[in-house]
Structure 1
């Protein structure tokens, strides 16, 4: 009887350990991506996570599945960061909130974005994640600049949103921080100035 009653607890413990191992492997993959541009190998991921290569492939059928899982993890984290920021305030307050949040997102997730684009190939899963990321960025633009966008025709609104989305792209941030050697604050200032010029003036700005 005691052995039978402990079976569910043993199973729960194994599930929790397996879930923890899986999370540590995902964390290791993301950490390695941030440190160097090369796509991490199974051996390097296992070493960083503190497990064997076998443990990696017990949780993921292949490295592609691991990339998809890591992308989903990043999406959850980035979504939480964005959702925590308000969408109201003066025009300049909203500009500063949007740009600083977007800048920090680009700072943290640029390596993963590049890995996604480099490895999407014929993968419908990765292509779908790239599309979701772009849609999230556009929804954020529409939400935070709703007062300004509401003054435009549908065609003008769409053009403005697309222009801002292109402006705050990962690679745009990488150029400002890399070749142009701007500080975080300096890169934010460039984006704020450009977005402010793209947006129409409203009665509240007069």
Structure 2
């Protein structure tokens, strides 16, 4: 076959490149809209930002917002999902095989930073969840992840308890280190970040049973 034969059809890649480029730009726009919503949620919490406010902050039109999200509720759900991913990425489990005090300090420090960062969004979700099964499910997932982290970090102590005792301790620990608890310490009682962490550390140490093998 002649290498110069004009009948040879070469694959055309330009259209797919253009499609991919549009898709990437659309995803980037979607991400910027979510980030704009989160920034406004921090400032206006628990009030929900309007579409016009979100569009202005993101640098797009209101039409662009609704081209990517059918309504503000869908944007709230997307923002909650984004926050959950960020929490998981920025707060990996560390020192879960350390001694008692190391594990308590690490767990409390991680939880405190998470609460400090996401408090406004959490408050907005709680206040505005209404009858939304999607937002209720995200709130439940956040609590379940917090309990799972407690189980991992305090496994040596929890292993010494009966099933009922273990459940009770986890319930109390989750309530103690809840976002609302953090907010009360920081806002109502006026504790500094370090003071609030120390209060949580002392209370957690008292709530946990002795650590097997450490003579605690």
Same fold (TM over 0.5): yes
Aligned counterparts of 1:186 and 1:204: Cα–Cα separation in 2? 30
Range that drifts further, 138-147 or 114-123 = 114-123
CA distance in 1, matches of 2:100, 2:14: 60
CA RMSD of aligned residues (A): 1.5
Question: TM-score scaled by structure 2?
Answer: 0.91
In structure 2, the residue matched to 1:177 is: 186
- Residue 62 of structure 1 corresponds to 71
Cα offsets for 1:50-78 (capped at 9, x unmatched): 11111000000000000000000000000
What residue in structure 2 maps to residue 6 of structure 1? 14
Task: Name the residue aligned to 1:44.
Answer: 53
Task: Report the counterpart of residue 129 of structure 1 in structure 2.
Answer: 138
Higher helix share goes to which structure?
1
> For residue 115 of structure 2, what is the aligned residue in structure 1?
106
Question: Distance in 1 between the 2:210 and 2:139 partners?
Answer: 32
Match of 1:152 in 2: 161
Structure whose CA Rg is larger:
2
Cα distance in structure 2, aligned partners of 1:71 and 1:166? 21
User: Structure 2 CA distance, aligned partners of 1:42 and 1:54?
Assistant: 9
Give structure 1 stretches of 5+ with no counterpart.
Answer: none
Count of aligned positions? 206
Q: TM-score, normalised by structure 1?
A: 0.96
Deviations 1:24-83 (A, max 9, x none): 000111111122322111111111111111100000000000000000000000011222
- Determine if contact 2:80/2:138 at 8 Å carries over to the other structure: yes
